[in-house]
Amino acid sequence: MSNFISAVKTFAADENGVTAIEYGLIASLVGVGIVVAATALGGKLSDMFDFIGSKLKTA
């Protein structure tokens, strides 16, 4: 019975799983930030290339 209690105490003290979850959450937040930034800049970048293309056609 003491081996079982010792194993439970060791499992409760182990923080490797918690660290992995934290890294996963951070990675997902970074991914969401990249998607939001790409979406926001995508339209502006497209408009800029359209403007440059129209100026090249008229030149």
Q: Which domain holds residue 11?
A: 2-58
* pTM > 0.75: yes or no: no
d(Cα 6, Cα 24) in Å, to the nearest integer?
29
pLDDT digits (tens, 9 = 90+) for 17-58: 677 888 889 999 999 999 999 888 888 888 889 999 999 987
d(Cα 50, Cα 21) in Å, to the nearest integer?
43
d(Cα 17, Cα 30) in Å, to the nearest integer?
20
Amino acid at 35: V
pLDDT digits (tens, 9 = 90+) for 7-18: 878 877 776 667
52-53-57-59 Cα dihedral, nearest 10 degrees: 20
